[in-house]
Amino acid sequence: MLNRKISNYLFYIVLVIIAVGIFAVQSASIGNIESKIDDLEAKNLLLQAQISSIEELVEDNNDVQIDHLYELYNQVPNVFSITDLTYYITAQLELVGITEDADMQRSVLVNQGVTFSETTLFSDLQTKFKVVEVQVFFTTQDDLVIEAFIDLLYNADQVFIVRNIEYFTPDGENFIGVSIDFLAFYEKEDVS
């Protein structure tokens, strides 16, 4: 057997090794966490700078009318974006008072795969342009909203051709359900 003094020294050495090990693990963990905190603070500062620049951009363009923004497209846009078209049509609907309220039942659907029979003028146009069909549905109590929306389409800087307008008034209801189908034209993309 080991004598009592050596046994006590071994016990204290083991305790010191355990304490040093715990201290080393804790220091490494805290250092790692502090490093992550520093990285997050740097990213946070970068995001804050981006938010500030976006807020300045919004303030600078706050007075710009939506239709003025689309003057850049000059009648037939050269790039088709389903998102841009959907947002543009939604913005036009908002301008005439058709909001996202549940009682308006607003929907905007974009059909990129529209085809026409060979004998129509649209078939010839489809060889020169990318033609996209847009279907808009909403309900309203004011029939002047329909006319205002169609006027916005005709006066837009982009070419839109209204194909079909259907509306109905359910019996016993005081609103009009309106479905408007129209075409939007874009330059064909080069597939070279």
Question: What confidence tens digit (pLDDT) does each residue in 79-115 have?
Answer: 788 898 999 999 999 998 888 877 778 899 999 888 8
What is the pLDDT at residue 68? 46
Q: Which two tokens stand for residue 100?
A: 């996202």
- Mean pLDDT over residues 10-29, rounded? 91
Per-residue confidence band for 65, with pLDDT thresholds at 50, 70 and 90: low
Q: Which of 6-15, 53-62, 115-124 has the lowest mean pLDDT?
A: 53-62
pLDDT at residue 177, rounded to an integer: 86
Q: Residue 191 has what pLDDT?
A: 56
CA distance 181 to 172: 26
Q: Residue range 145-154: average pLDDT?
A: 89
pLDDT value, residue 2: 58
**Contacts of range 86-94, beta carbons closer than 8 Å, 24 or more positions apart:** 86/110, 89/134, 89/136, 91/66, 92/66, 92/149, 92/152, 92/153, 92/156, 93/136, 93/138, 93/149
Match 């790692």 to its residue by tokens. 32
Nearest of 126, 85, 132, 129 to residue 113 by alpha carbon:
132
pLDDT band at 75 (very low <50, low <70, confident <90, very high): low
70 pLDDT above the threshold of 80: no
Distances (CA, A) of 145 to 28, 99, 156, 159, 178: 67, 12, 16, 20, 10
* CA dist., res. 120 & res. 101, Å (int): 39
Write b or e for each residue in 73-100: b if 16 or more Cβ atoms lie within 10 A of its Cβ, otherwise e. beeebeebeeeebeebbbebbeebebee
Query: What percent of the chain lies above the pLDDT cut of 70?
Result: 89
Q: What are phi and psi of 138, to 5 degrees?
A: -160, 165
- Is it the case that residue 72 has pLDDT exceeding 60? no
Amino acid (one-letter) located at 77: P
